[in-house]
Chains A and B, each alone.
Chain A
Protein backbone atom coordinates (compact mmCIF):
# COMPACT_ATOMS: atom_id res chain seq x y z
CA UNK A 1 0.00 0.00 0.00
CA UNK A 2 2.75 2.39 0.96
CA UNK A 3 4.83 1.50 -2.18
CA UNK A 4 1.79 2.34 -4.37
CA UNK A 5 1.43 5.67 -2.59
CA UNK A 6 5.17 6.34 -3.10
CA UNK A 7 4.80 5.56 -6.80
CA UNK A 8 1.87 8.01 -7.07
CA UNK A 9 3.90 10.67 -5.23
CA UNK A 10 6.87 10.11 -7.56
CA UNK A 11 4.65 10.39 -10.65
CA UNK A 12 3.10 13.61 -9.32
CA UNK A 13 6.55 15.02 -8.57
CA UNK A 14 7.81 14.08 -12.04
CA UNK A 15 4.79 15.71 -13.69
CA UNK A 16 5.30 18.80 -11.55
CA UNK A 17 8.97 18.94 -12.62
CA UNK A 18 8.01 18.47 -16.27
CA UNK A 19 5.51 21.33 -15.98
CA UNK A 20 8.15 23.46 -14.29
CA UNK A 21 10.69 22.79 -17.04
CA UNK A 22 8.09 23.51 -19.73
CA UNK A 23 7.09 26.74 -17.95
CA UNK A 24 10.72 27.83 -17.63
CA UNK A 25 11.24 27.04 -21.32
CA UNK A 26 8.24 29.14 -22.35
CA UNK A 27 9.37 32.01 -20.08
CA UNK A 28 12.93 31.86 -21.51
CA UNK A 29 11.58 31.84 -25.08
CA UNK A 30 9.31 34.82 -24.29
CA UNK A 31 12.18 36.76 -22.69
CA UNK A 32 14.40 35.96 -25.69
CA UNK A 33 11.64 37.07 -28.06
CA UNK A 34 11.20 40.39 -26.22
CA UNK A 35 14.98 40.98 -26.24
CA UNK A 36 15.22 40.31 -29.99
CA UNK A 37 12.19 42.54 -30.64
CA UNK A 38 13.80 45.37 -28.66
CA UNK A 39 17.10 44.92 -30.53
CA UNK A 40 15.23 45.04 -33.85
CA UNK A 41 13.70 48.36 -32.79
CA UNK A 42 17.29 49.54 -32.28
CA UNK A 43 19.42 50.40 -29.28
CA UNK A 44 18.86 54.11 -28.51
CA UNK A 45 21.90 56.42 -28.12
CA UNK A 46 22.08 59.82 -26.44
CA UNK A 47 24.96 60.91 -28.70
CA UNK A 48 25.74 60.39 -32.39
CA UNK A 49 26.66 56.69 -32.60
CA UNK A 50 29.77 57.04 -34.82
CA UNK A 51 33.10 58.16 -33.28
CA UNK A 52 34.20 61.60 -34.49
CA UNK A 53 37.66 63.08 -33.77
CA UNK A 54 38.98 66.64 -33.64
CA UNK A 55 40.07 66.58 -37.31
CA UNK A 56 36.46 66.60 -38.46
CA UNK A 57 35.31 69.77 -40.22
CA UNK A 58 31.85 70.54 -41.65
CA UNK A 59 31.82 69.79 -45.36
CA UNK A 60 32.39 72.59 -47.83
CA UNK A 61 29.71 71.85 -50.46
CA UNK A 62 32.17 72.84 -53.19
CA UNK A 63 33.94 69.56 -52.33
CA UNK A 64 30.81 67.46 -52.75
CA UNK A 65 31.29 65.21 -55.78
CA UNK A 66 28.04 66.01 -57.64
CA UNK A 67 28.50 69.74 -57.08
CA UNK A 68 32.08 69.54 -58.37
CA UNK A 69 30.93 67.54 -61.41
CA UNK A 70 28.28 70.18 -62.13
CA UNK A 71 30.48 73.26 -61.73
CA UNK A 72 32.62 74.64 -64.57
CA UNK A 73 34.13 77.29 -62.26
CA UNK A 74 35.23 74.77 -59.62
CA UNK A 75 36.84 72.53 -62.26
CA UNK A 76 38.69 75.56 -63.61
CA UNK A 77 39.78 76.50 -60.09
CA UNK A 78 41.02 72.97 -59.25
CA UNK A 79 42.78 71.47 -62.30
CA UNK A 80 44.95 69.44 -59.89
CA UNK A 81 41.90 67.34 -58.97
CA UNK A 82 41.33 66.21 -62.56
CA UNK A 83 45.08 65.67 -63.00
CA UNK A 84 45.44 63.49 -59.88
CA UNK A 85 42.42 61.41 -60.88
CA UNK A 86 43.69 60.92 -64.44
CA UNK A 87 47.06 59.79 -63.06
CA UNK A 88 45.39 57.10 -60.96
CA UNK A 89 43.25 56.00 -63.91
CA UNK A 90 46.39 55.79 -66.05
CA UNK A 91 48.12 53.64 -63.42
CA UNK A 92 45.15 51.27 -63.34
CA UNK A 93 44.74 51.21 -67.11
CA UNK A 94 47.77 52.15 -69.30
CA UNK A 95 45.39 52.76 -72.25
CA UNK A 96 43.64 55.61 -70.38
CA UNK A 97 44.00 58.85 -72.40
CA UNK A 98 44.09 61.30 -69.46
CA UNK A 99 41.05 62.99 -70.96
CA UNK A 100 38.72 62.66 -67.98
CA UNK A 101 37.34 65.94 -66.70
CA UNK A 102 34.71 65.92 -63.95
CA UNK A 103 32.72 68.78 -65.46
CA UNK A 104 33.14 68.26 -69.20
CA UNK A 105 32.70 64.50 -69.15
CA UNK A 106 29.64 64.81 -66.89
CA UNK A 107 27.95 67.05 -69.48
CA UNK A 108 27.55 63.95 -71.68
CA UNK A 109 25.82 62.03 -68.85
CA UNK A 110 22.57 60.27 -69.92
CA UNK A 111 22.96 61.56 -73.46
CA UNK A 112 24.79 58.63 -75.07
CA UNK A 113 23.39 56.37 -77.83
CA UNK A 114 20.77 53.71 -77.13
CA UNK A 115 22.04 50.13 -77.00
CA UNK A 116 20.71 46.67 -77.80
CA UNK A 117 21.31 45.18 -74.33
CA UNK A 118 18.19 44.92 -72.12
CA UNK A 119 18.22 47.80 -69.64
CA UNK A 120 20.05 50.15 -72.03
CA UNK A 121 17.49 50.67 -74.81
CA UNK A 122 15.41 53.71 -75.76
CA UNK A 123 12.60 52.32 -73.59
CA UNK A 124 14.88 52.23 -70.54
CA UNK A 125 16.29 55.71 -71.18
CA UNK A 126 12.73 57.03 -71.47
CA UNK A 127 11.89 55.54 -68.07
CA UNK A 128 15.00 57.07 -66.50
CA UNK A 129 14.35 60.56 -67.83
CA UNK A 130 10.64 60.36 -66.96
CA UNK A 131 11.53 59.15 -63.45
CA UNK A 132 13.60 62.25 -62.78
CA UNK A 133 11.30 64.70 -64.58
CA UNK A 134 8.97 65.33 -61.64
CA UNK A 135 11.79 65.89 -59.12
CA UNK A 136 13.52 68.26 -61.55
CA UNK A 137 10.29 70.18 -62.17
CA UNK A 138 9.64 70.47 -58.42
CA UNK A 139 13.18 71.77 -57.93
CA UNK A 140 12.74 74.44 -60.58
CA UNK A 141 14.54 72.42 -63.25
CA UNK A 142 17.70 72.24 -61.17
CA UNK A 143 19.75 69.33 -59.90
CA UNK A 144 19.03 67.48 -56.65
CA UNK A 145 21.87 69.45 -55.03
CA UNK A 146 20.67 72.93 -56.01
CA UNK A 147 19.56 75.10 -53.08
CA UNK A 148 16.74 77.66 -52.98
CA UNK A 149 14.90 76.38 -56.05
CA UNK A 150 11.24 75.50 -56.66
CA UNK A 151 9.80 73.53 -53.73
CA UNK A 152 13.02 74.05 -51.75
CA UNK A 153 12.69 77.83 -51.96
CA UNK A 154 14.01 79.87 -49.03
CA UNK A 155 11.09 82.29 -49.31
CA UNK A 156 8.50 81.94 -46.52
CA UNK A 157 5.41 82.54 -48.67
CA UNK A 158 3.06 80.48 -46.48
CA UNK A 159 4.21 81.78 -43.10
CA UNK A 160 1.35 82.93 -40.83
CA UNK A 161 1.68 85.25 -37.86
CA UNK A 162 -0.11 83.09 -35.26
CA UNK A 163 2.19 80.47 -33.77
CA UNK A 164 0.40 77.20 -33.05
CA UNK A 165 1.13 75.70 -29.61
CA UNK A 166 1.37 71.94 -29.40
CA UNK A 167 0.26 70.24 -26.17
CA UNK A 168 3.77 68.96 -25.51
CA UNK A 169 7.04 68.24 -27.36
CA UNK A 170 5.90 64.59 -27.70
CA UNK A 171 2.63 65.80 -29.21
CA UNK A 172 4.53 67.98 -31.71
CA UNK A 173 6.71 65.01 -32.70
CA UNK A 174 3.66 62.81 -33.26
CA UNK A 175 1.66 65.42 -35.19
CA UNK A 176 4.54 66.26 -37.57
CA UNK A 177 5.14 62.55 -38.20
CA UNK A 178 1.40 61.93 -38.72
CA UNK A 179 1.39 64.64 -41.38
CA UNK A 180 4.50 63.12 -43.00
CA UNK A 181 2.86 59.67 -43.04
CA UNK A 182 -0.23 61.04 -44.74
CA UNK A 183 1.86 62.88 -47.35
CA UNK A 184 3.50 59.52 -48.19
CA UNK A 185 6.67 59.27 -46.09
CA UNK A 186 7.99 55.76 -45.60
CA UNK A 187 9.67 56.86 -42.38
CA UNK A 188 10.22 60.17 -40.64
CA UNK A 189 12.56 61.21 -37.83
CA UNK A 190 13.13 64.51 -36.06
CA UNK A 191 16.53 65.65 -34.83
CA UNK A 192 18.36 68.75 -33.69
CA UNK A 193 20.08 70.90 -36.33
CA UNK A 194 23.80 70.10 -36.18
CA UNK A 195 26.52 72.31 -37.74
CA UNK A 196 28.66 69.21 -38.27
CA UNK A 197 26.30 67.87 -40.94
CA UNK A 198 25.46 71.13 -42.69
CA UNK A 199 27.39 72.25 -45.77
CA UNK A 200 29.37 75.37 -45.04
CA UNK A 201 29.45 77.19 -47.32
CA UNK A 202 26.49 75.98 -49.36
CA UNK A 203 27.24 76.13 -53.10
CA UNK A 204 24.83 76.74 -55.96
CA UNK A 205 26.59 75.24 -59.00
CA UNK A 206 23.99 76.61 -61.44
CA UNK A 207 24.87 80.17 -60.38
CA UNK A 208 28.47 79.35 -59.33
CA UNK A 209 27.80 81.07 -56.04
CA UNK A 210 28.63 80.42 -52.37
CA UNK A 211 25.84 80.89 -49.86
CA UNK A 212 26.35 81.35 -46.11
CA UNK A 213 24.06 80.32 -43.26
CA UNK A 214 24.35 83.53 -41.24
CA UNK A 215 24.28 85.92 -44.23
CA UNK A 216 21.95 84.28 -46.78
CA UNK A 217 19.68 81.75 -45.07
CA UNK A 218 16.37 83.30 -43.95
CA UNK A 219 16.47 82.07 -40.32
CA UNK A 220 18.57 80.20 -37.78
CA UNK A 221 17.44 76.56 -38.08
CA UNK A 222 16.94 74.64 -34.83
CA UNK A 223 15.41 71.37 -35.98
CA UNK A 224 15.74 69.05 -38.97
CA UNK A 225 12.89 66.74 -39.99
CA UNK A 226 14.22 63.79 -41.98
CA UNK A 227 11.92 62.09 -44.49
CA UNK A 228 12.46 58.77 -46.26
CA UNK A 229 10.82 57.41 -49.37
CA UNK A 230 11.17 53.97 -50.88
CA UNK A 231 12.68 52.92 -54.19
CA UNK A 232 11.11 49.92 -55.95
CA UNK A 233 12.79 46.57 -55.23
CA UNK A 234 12.35 45.07 -58.72
CA UNK A 235 13.61 48.22 -60.41
CA UNK A 236 16.73 48.41 -58.26
CA UNK A 237 17.26 44.66 -58.92
CA UNK A 238 18.06 45.52 -62.56
CA UNK A 239 21.18 47.50 -61.49
CA UNK A 240 23.30 48.94 -62.99
CA UNK A 241 20.85 49.36 -65.90
CA UNK A 242 19.26 52.68 -66.88
CA UNK A 243 15.98 51.38 -65.47
CA UNK A 244 17.16 52.06 -61.91
CA UNK A 245 17.13 55.80 -62.62
CA UNK A 246 13.37 55.52 -63.04
CA UNK A 247 12.81 54.58 -59.40
CA UNK A 248 15.66 56.75 -58.11
CA UNK A 249 14.10 59.81 -59.74
CA UNK A 250 10.64 58.79 -58.64
CA UNK A 251 11.75 58.41 -55.00
CA UNK A 252 13.46 61.82 -55.22
CA UNK A 253 10.21 63.30 -56.54
CA UNK A 254 8.23 61.81 -53.66
CA UNK A 255 10.85 62.87 -51.10
CA UNK A 256 10.99 66.51 -52.19
CA UNK A 257 7.19 66.63 -52.56
CA UNK A 258 6.74 65.53 -48.93
CA UNK A 259 9.49 67.84 -47.67
CA UNK A 260 7.85 70.75 -49.50
CA UNK A 261 4.46 69.90 -48.00
CA UNK A 262 5.90 69.59 -44.48
CA UNK A 263 7.64 72.97 -44.88
CA UNK A 264 4.32 74.58 -45.85
CA UNK A 265 2.59 72.73 -42.95
CA UNK A 266 5.10 74.26 -40.51
CA UNK A 267 4.83 77.72 -42.06
CA UNK A 268 1.05 77.51 -41.65
CA UNK A 269 1.67 76.76 -37.96
CA UNK A 270 3.71 79.95 -37.71
CA UNK A 271 7.22 78.52 -37.95
CA UNK A 272 9.80 79.18 -40.64
CA UNK A 273 10.76 76.12 -42.67
CA UNK A 274 12.73 75.21 -45.80
CA UNK A 275 12.58 71.91 -47.70
CA UNK A 276 15.86 70.41 -48.80
CA UNK A 277 16.83 67.51 -51.08
CA UNK A 278 20.60 66.95 -51.34
CA UNK A 279 21.48 70.58 -50.60
CA UNK A 280 22.02 72.35 -47.24
CA UNK A 281 23.33 69.31 -45.37
CA UNK A 282 24.45 65.70 -45.67
CA UNK A 283 21.42 63.42 -45.56
CA UNK A 284 23.01 60.25 -44.16
CA UNK A 285 24.24 61.58 -40.77
CA UNK A 286 20.99 63.46 -40.25
CA UNK A 287 19.06 60.23 -40.89
CA UNK A 288 21.35 58.39 -38.43
CA UNK A 289 20.84 61.14 -35.81
CA UNK A 290 17.06 60.91 -36.33
CA UNK A 291 17.16 57.16 -35.59
CA UNK A 292 16.17 56.02 -39.06
CA UNK A 293 19.13 53.77 -39.79
CA UNK A 294 22.89 53.29 -39.67
CA UNK A 295 25.69 54.23 -42.03
CA UNK A 296 26.64 51.28 -44.23
CA UNK A 297 29.82 50.23 -45.99
CA UNK A 298 28.48 51.69 -49.25
CA UNK A 299 28.29 55.14 -47.63
CA UNK A 300 24.52 55.18 -47.64
CA UNK A 301 22.03 54.93 -44.83
CA UNK A 302 20.93 51.34 -44.16
CA UNK A 303 17.43 51.06 -42.73
CA UNK A 304 16.53 47.82 -40.96
CA UNK A 305 13.49 47.09 -43.16
CA UNK A 306 14.49 48.39 -46.60
CA UNK A 307 18.27 48.48 -46.42
CA UNK A 308 19.76 51.27 -48.56
CA UNK A 309 16.74 51.25 -50.95
CA UNK A 310 15.55 54.67 -49.76
CA UNK A 311 15.92 58.34 -50.67
CA UNK A 312 16.12 61.05 -48.05
CA UNK A 313 14.88 64.63 -47.96
CA UNK A 314 14.74 66.99 -45.01
CA UNK A 315 13.07 70.11 -43.68
CA UNK A 316 14.99 72.79 -41.78
CA UNK A 317 12.86 74.76 -39.33
CA UNK A 318 13.20 77.23 -36.48
CA UNK A 319 10.58 75.27 -34.49
CA UNK A 320 12.34 73.63 -31.55
CA UNK A 321 9.71 72.76 -28.97
CA UNK A 322 9.59 69.18 -30.22
CA UNK A 323 10.78 65.86 -28.85
CA UNK A 324 13.87 64.75 -30.77
CA UNK A 325 14.22 61.14 -31.83
CA UNK A 326 17.26 59.28 -30.58
CA UNK A 327 19.87 57.75 -32.85
CA UNK A 328 19.50 53.97 -32.89
CA UNK A 329 21.79 51.13 -33.87
CA UNK A 330 20.36 47.94 -35.31
CA UNK A 331 23.53 45.86 -35.71
CA UNK A 332 24.06 47.10 -39.30
CA UNK A 333 27.63 48.33 -38.69
CA UNK A 334 28.67 44.93 -37.38
CA UNK A 335 26.98 43.18 -40.33
CA UNK A 336 28.65 45.54 -42.86
CA UNK A 337 32.09 44.77 -41.38
CA UNK A 338 31.64 41.10 -42.21
CA UNK A 339 29.52 41.25 -45.35
CA UNK A 340 31.36 43.33 -48.01
CA UNK A 341 28.87 42.30 -50.67
CA UNK A 342 28.45 45.88 -51.92
CA UNK A 343 32.24 46.27 -52.18
CA UNK A 344 32.55 43.08 -54.22
CA UNK A 345 29.61 44.03 -56.48
CA UNK A 346 30.70 47.62 -57.11
CA UNK A 347 31.58 47.82 -60.85
CA UNK A 348 34.11 50.63 -60.27
CA UNK A 349 35.58 49.15 -57.07
CA UNK A 350 34.94 52.46 -55.32
CA UNK A 351 33.82 50.89 -52.04
CA UNK A 352 36.26 50.09 -49.25
CA UNK A 353 36.94 46.40 -48.52
CA UNK A 354 38.64 47.19 -45.19
CA UNK A 355 37.54 48.12 -41.70
CA UNK A 356 36.25 51.61 -40.79
CA UNK A 357 39.01 54.27 -40.73
CA UNK A 358 39.33 57.96 -39.77
CA UNK A 359 40.60 58.92 -43.22
CA UNK A 360 40.53 57.37 -46.69
CA UNK A 361 42.85 54.39 -47.13
CA UNK A 362 42.86 54.51 -50.93
CA UNK A 363 45.13 57.59 -51.04
CA UNK A 364 46.88 60.16 -48.86
CA UNK A 365 47.17 62.71 -51.70
CA UNK A 366 45.00 65.75 -50.82
CA UNK A 367 44.47 66.40 -54.55
CA UNK A 368 42.85 62.96 -54.71
CA UNK A 369 40.97 62.82 -51.38
CA UNK A 370 39.48 66.36 -51.54
CA UNK A 371 35.89 65.13 -51.21
CA UNK A 372 36.41 62.88 -48.16
CA UNK A 373 34.91 63.77 -44.79
CA UNK A 374 37.96 63.06 -42.64
CA UNK A 375 37.64 62.60 -38.89
CA UNK A 376 34.68 60.22 -38.81
CA UNK A 377 35.37 56.54 -38.12
CA UNK A 378 33.57 55.05 -41.11
CA UNK A 379 34.06 53.29 -44.45
CA UNK A 380 35.70 55.86 -46.76
CA UNK A 381 34.78 55.28 -50.38
CA UNK A 382 36.26 56.75 -53.54
CA UNK A 383 33.29 58.81 -54.77
CA UNK A 384 35.23 59.86 -57.90
CA UNK A 385 35.39 56.29 -59.20
CA UNK A 386 31.65 55.97 -58.55
CA UNK A 387 31.03 59.21 -60.49
CA UNK A 388 33.21 57.99 -63.36
CA UNK A 389 31.29 54.72 -63.60
CA UNK A 390 28.03 56.68 -63.90
CA UNK A 391 29.49 58.47 -66.91
CA UNK A 392 30.91 55.25 -68.43
CA UNK A 393 27.55 53.55 -67.79
CA UNK A 394 25.65 56.59 -69.14
CA UNK A 395 23.23 56.22 -66.26
CA UNK A 396 23.57 55.96 -62.50
CA UNK A 397 24.37 52.60 -60.97
CA UNK A 398 22.66 51.40 -57.72
CA UNK A 399 24.63 48.11 -57.77
CA UNK A 400 25.61 48.54 -54.10
CA UNK A 401 21.94 49.02 -53.20
CA UNK A 402 20.84 45.97 -55.19
CA UNK A 403 23.58 43.76 -53.71
CA UNK A 404 22.99 44.71 -50.06
CA UNK A 405 21.51 41.81 -48.03
CA UNK A 406 19.35 44.35 -46.16
CA UNK A 407 17.68 45.32 -49.45
CA UNK A 408 14.62 43.09 -49.37
CA UNK A 409 10.90 43.49 -50.05
CA UNK A 410 8.88 43.91 -46.86
CA UNK A 411 8.01 40.21 -46.38
CA UNK A 412 7.73 38.25 -43.13
CA UNK A 413 10.62 35.83 -43.77
CA UNK A 414 13.12 38.70 -44.14
CA UNK A 415 12.07 40.11 -40.77
CA UNK A 416 12.83 36.65 -39.36
CA UNK A 417 16.35 36.78 -40.84
CA UNK A 418 16.73 40.37 -39.50
CA UNK A 419 15.80 39.09 -36.03
CA UNK A 420 18.57 36.51 -36.26
CA UNK A 421 21.06 39.11 -37.53
CA UNK A 422 20.64 41.47 -34.56
CA UNK A 423 21.73 38.82 -32.06
CA UNK A 424 24.19 36.75 -34.10
CA UNK A 425 27.97 37.25 -33.81
CA UNK A 426 30.25 38.25 -36.73
CA UNK A 427 31.00 34.86 -38.33
CA UNK A 428 27.26 34.20 -38.59
CA UNK A 429 26.92 37.45 -40.58
CA UNK A 430 29.43 36.13 -43.13
CA UNK A 431 27.42 32.88 -43.27
CA UNK A 432 24.18 34.84 -43.77
CA UNK A 433 25.80 36.73 -46.67
CA UNK A 434 26.61 33.38 -48.32
CA UNK A 435 23.03 32.20 -47.71
CA UNK A 436 21.74 35.41 -49.29
CA UNK A 437 23.71 34.60 -52.45
CA UNK A 438 22.65 30.93 -52.29
CA UNK A 439 18.98 31.95 -52.10
CA UNK A 440 19.33 34.13 -55.20
CA UNK A 441 19.18 37.66 -53.72
CA UNK A 442 21.34 40.64 -54.65
CA UNK A 443 22.32 39.55 -58.17
CA UNK A 444 23.89 42.49 -60.05
CA UNK A 445 24.35 43.00 -63.79
CA UNK A 446 21.96 40.31 -65.02
CA UNK A 447 20.14 41.54 -68.18
CA UNK A 448 17.32 39.04 -67.43
CA UNK A 449 16.34 41.20 -64.46
CA UNK A 450 15.89 44.18 -66.78
CA UNK A 451 13.65 42.05 -69.01
CA UNK A 452 11.77 40.85 -65.90
CA UNK A 453 11.15 44.46 -64.85
CA UNK A 454 9.18 45.14 -68.02
CA UNK A 455 6.84 42.23 -67.17
CA UNK A 456 5.93 43.56 -63.71
CA UNK A 457 3.03 45.54 -65.20
CA UNK A 458 0.73 42.54 -65.03
CA UNK A 459 0.50 43.05 -61.26
CA UNK A 460 -0.99 46.55 -61.61
Chain B
Protein backbone atom coordinates (compact mmCIF):
# COMPACT_ATOMS: atom_id res chain seq x y z
CA UNK B 1 0.00 0.00 0.00
CA UNK B 2 2.81 2.42 0.94
CA UNK B 3 4.60 1.51 -2.31
CA UNK B 4 1.48 2.36 -4.32
CA UNK B 5 1.18 5.66 -2.43
CA UNK B 6 4.78 6.56 -3.30
CA UNK B 7 4.05 5.74 -6.96
CA UNK B 8 0.94 7.95 -7.06
CA UNK B 9 2.69 10.81 -5.23
CA UNK B 10 5.66 10.54 -7.59
CA UNK B 11 3.31 10.72 -10.55
CA UNK B 12 1.53 13.79 -9.11
CA UNK B 13 4.95 15.42 -8.47
CA UNK B 14 6.00 14.99 -12.11
CA UNK B 15 2.69 16.32 -13.47
CA UNK B 16 2.83 19.26 -11.04
CA UNK B 17 6.42 20.02 -12.03
CA UNK B 18 5.42 20.04 -15.70
CA UNK B 19 2.51 22.42 -15.10
CA UNK B 20 4.62 24.69 -12.90
CA UNK B 21 7.17 25.06 -15.72
CA UNK B 22 4.41 25.61 -18.28
CA UNK B 23 2.74 28.32 -16.18
CA UNK B 24 6.12 29.87 -15.50
CA UNK B 25 6.61 30.39 -19.22
CA UNK B 26 3.01 31.48 -19.81
CA UNK B 27 2.73 34.00 -16.96
CA UNK B 28 6.42 34.82 -16.60
CA UNK B 29 6.54 33.73 -12.96
CA UNK B 30 9.75 34.48 -11.07
CA UNK B 31 11.74 32.09 -8.83
CA UNK B 32 9.79 33.11 -5.67
CA UNK B 33 6.52 31.88 -7.20
CA UNK B 34 8.11 28.59 -8.27
CA UNK B 35 9.72 28.06 -4.85
CA UNK B 36 6.46 28.99 -3.05
CA UNK B 37 4.30 26.65 -5.10
CA UNK B 38 6.91 23.84 -4.87
CA UNK B 39 7.05 24.16 -1.07
CA UNK B 40 3.26 24.26 -0.79
CA UNK B 41 2.75 21.31 -3.09
CA UNK B 42 5.59 19.37 -1.43
CA UNK B 43 3.99 19.92 1.96
CA UNK B 44 0.58 18.74 0.74
CA UNK B 45 2.08 15.60 -0.83
CA UNK B 46 4.09 14.97 2.34
CA UNK B 47 0.92 15.23 4.42
CA UNK B 48 -0.77 12.61 2.22
CA UNK B 49 2.22 10.25 2.53
CA UNK B 50 2.29 10.82 6.33
CA UNK B 51 -1.45 10.14 6.60
CA UNK B 52 -1.28 6.90 4.61
CA UNK B 53 1.72 5.74 6.69
CA UNK B 54 -0.06 6.57 9.95
CA UNK B 55 -3.25 4.73 8.90
CA UNK B 56 -1.19 1.69 7.88
CA UNK B 57 0.62 1.62 11.23
CA UNK B 58 -2.75 1.86 13.00
CA UNK B 59 -2.54 5.36 14.52
CA UNK B 60 -5.39 7.28 12.80
CA UNK B 61 -4.99 10.34 15.02
CA UNK B 62 -1.50 10.82 13.65
CA UNK B 63 -2.97 10.69 10.14
CA UNK B 64 -5.49 13.45 10.86
CA UNK B 65 -2.92 15.59 12.67
CA UNK B 66 -0.49 15.09 9.78
CA UNK B 67 -3.11 16.32 7.30
CA UNK B 68 -3.94 19.26 9.56
CA UNK B 69 -0.36 20.38 10.24
CA UNK B 70 1.43 19.62 6.99
CA UNK B 71 -1.54 19.67 4.57
CA UNK B 72 -3.02 22.90 5.87
CA UNK B 73 0.50 24.38 6.00
CA UNK B 74 0.95 23.48 2.33
CA UNK B 75 -2.38 25.01 1.32
CA UNK B 76 -1.49 28.17 3.27
CA UNK B 77 1.92 28.49 1.56
CA UNK B 78 0.37 27.95 -1.88
CA UNK B 79 -2.43 30.47 -1.19
CA UNK B 80 0.00 33.12 0.04
CA UNK B 81 2.25 32.53 -2.97
CA UNK B 82 -0.72 32.93 -5.29
CA UNK B 83 -2.06 36.00 -3.45
CA UNK B 84 1.19 37.94 -3.09
CA UNK B 85 3.45 36.74 -5.91
CA UNK B 86 1.68 34.88 -8.68
CA UNK B 87 -1.47 37.03 -8.93
CA UNK B 88 0.55 40.20 -9.60
CA UNK B 89 2.43 38.45 -12.36
CA UNK B 90 -0.81 37.12 -13.86
Interface residues of A (CB under 8 A from B): 233-234, 408-409, 411-413, 438-441, 452, 456
Contacts and interface: CB of A to CB of B under 8 A. Distances in A.
A234 B56 CA distance: 12
Interface of B: 2, 49-50, 53-54, 56-62, 65-66
A412 B1 CA distance: 13
A248 B22 CA distance: 57
Contact of A413 (B50, B58, B60): B50
Q: Which 3 A-B pairs have the closest CB atoms?
A: A440-B61, A409-B57, A439-B62
A441 B59 contact: yes
8 contacts: A234-B58, A411-B57, A412-B2, A412-B49, A413-B49, A439-B61, A440-B65, A441-B59
A454 to B, nearest CB: 13
B65 A439 contact: yes
Contacts of A439: 54, 59, 61-62, 65-66
Contacts of A413: 49-50, 53-54, 66
Contacts of B62: 439-441
B35 to A, nearest CB: 11
Nearest to A18: B31
B65 A438 contact: yes
A413 B54 CA distance: 9
Contacts of B66: 413, 439
A20 to B, nearest CB: 15
A412 B53 contact: yes
A1 B81 CA distance: 39
A102 B47 CA distance: 51
A412 B6 CA distance: 11
Contacts of A438: 65
Nearest to A443: B61
Contacts of A440: 59-62, 65
B49 to A, nearest CB: 7
A234 B58 CA distance: 8
A411 B61 contact: no
Given A234-B58, A438-B65, 14 more contacts: A233-B57, A409-B57, A411-B56, A412-B49, A413-B50, A413-B53, A413-B54, A413-B66, A439-B54, A439-B59, A439-B61, A439-B62, A440-B59, A440-B61
